[in-house]
Amino acid sequence: MDADVQEGPLRRLAFVVTRSDAPGGAQFQVLRLAAALRDAGHIARVFVGGEGPFVDLLREANVDCTPLQHMVRPIAPVSDVRGLLELRQAMVDFRPDLITAHSAKAGWLGRGVGRLLGVPSVFTVHGQPLSPGRLAPSRRILRRVDQVASTLCHSMIFVSHYDRSVAVEHGIGHPHQHAVVHNAVPDVPPSLRADVTRTPPRLIMVARLDRPKLPVLAVRALAELRDVPWTFEIVGDGPLRSEVERAVAATGLDDRITLLGARDDVPQRLAAAQAFVLASNREGLPVSVLEAMRAGLPVVVSDAGGTSETVIEGETGFVVPRKDQGAMRDALRRVLGNASVRAAMGAAGRAHYEAEFSFGVHLRRVWSVYARAIRESR
């Protein structure tokens, strides 16, 4: 374990997350952080809303967890009051040195309990719910709630500079509270590194098929590249699947595009590919792009949210304007049509992952925020 994370007295750390259903990026980050800090000697426990698959994963990893009956994801005033009281009692019993909250509802409750008990809290924003510019009335209410909640915590962690810039624009938190710590993924063995020079190249997209993702845009861009040899795998499922199926049928690309649905072998699928694409209209900092670079794949991504912070333009891949089918087509042509370009970009992407997005780097950066919150709140 990294000496920077072990340095100083051991601490009691409470991770608060609302969702116990099928885990996403936020839950996996919580699991990895709690397990790593436990391995460093700290006492880490995850407080989660109810029982579910995420709780099962925590138990399989031997991470202490406490399911809470009333801490539910939907906004429900009666349940929310009960959830606040239930979480408060759980914190009284656990006696944490720090409360670290993840997701909006957990952020509101965790920061409120921290203020009530005099325990410092850190809120991690895993995806910015607000957008730049003028907000709809419902979003103005959310902004006001977040403005108030930000006064209750010591620090806020954003997974991208883009997300932080939106918070600054809307007056959420003071700049001295803000820290940017990019997402990260643990490494894989060399056997799960891609050979990007293989032909015909296999392109892959890993994403939930739901808005704000734009899988149909990727399909239509590839329909303009019939002269280039390629195949395309889409890993993921969701409400847009039927729309994607219709687009594939309409373009006559059934023999070149495969919808694999949800899979539990994503690292293996990435290792079998030669390039990665993510077409999207809004993002935080997508973990799938980091996993692709970890595998040594060149990436083509939409310029949405923090995606441009993951890619070195022209070196590890290409960032194209959102909803721009022509730009997506042109970038894909450059990658799919030249094995030497793929090899150079894949190697650069792997090096970029190791330097900036490996889990060890992430852990040290997160811990520095946690340790400062504890130290400055004495």
Pair of tokens at residue 203: 């392109």
Average pLDDT, integer, range 239-267:
95
Does the predicted model carry a pTM greater than 0.85? yes
Looking at residue 75, its pLDDT comes to 72
The Cα–Cα gap between 107 and 86 comes to 15
54-70 as b/e: b if 16+ CB within 10 A: bbebbeeeebebbbbeb
Pair of tokens at residue 342: 């793929």
Q: Are 192 and 367 in contact (CB under 8 A)?
A: no
**Strand pairing report for 12-17 and 43-49:** parallel
Please report, as a single letter, which amino acid is at residue 68: L
Confidence of residue 290 (pLDDT cuts 50, 70, 90): very high
Looking at residue 285, its pLDDT comes to 86
Q: Which residues contact 168 (CB under 8 A, 6 or more apart)?
A: 175, 178
Query: What length is written for the chain?
Result: 378
Confidence of residue 360 (pLDDT cuts 50, 70, 90): very high
Mean pLDDT (the chain) is: 93
The more confident residue out of 33 and 18 is 33
Confidence of residue 1 (pLDDT cuts 50, 70, 90): very low
- Convert the pLDDT of each residue in 72-81 to its tens digit: 776 777 778 9
**Residue 9, helix vs strand vs coil:** coil
pLDDT at 103 over 50: yes
The greatest distance separating any two alpha carbons of the chain, rounded to the nearest whole angstrom, comes to: 65
Q: Which residues contact 331 (CB under 8 A, 6 or more apart)?
A: 300, 318, 320
Looking at residue 279, its pLDDT comes to 97
Residue 92 phi, psi dihedral angles, 5° rounding: -60, -40
pLDDT at 8 over 80: no
The Cα–Cα gap between 271 and 291 comes to 10
Confidence of residue 216 (pLDDT cuts 50, 70, 90): very high
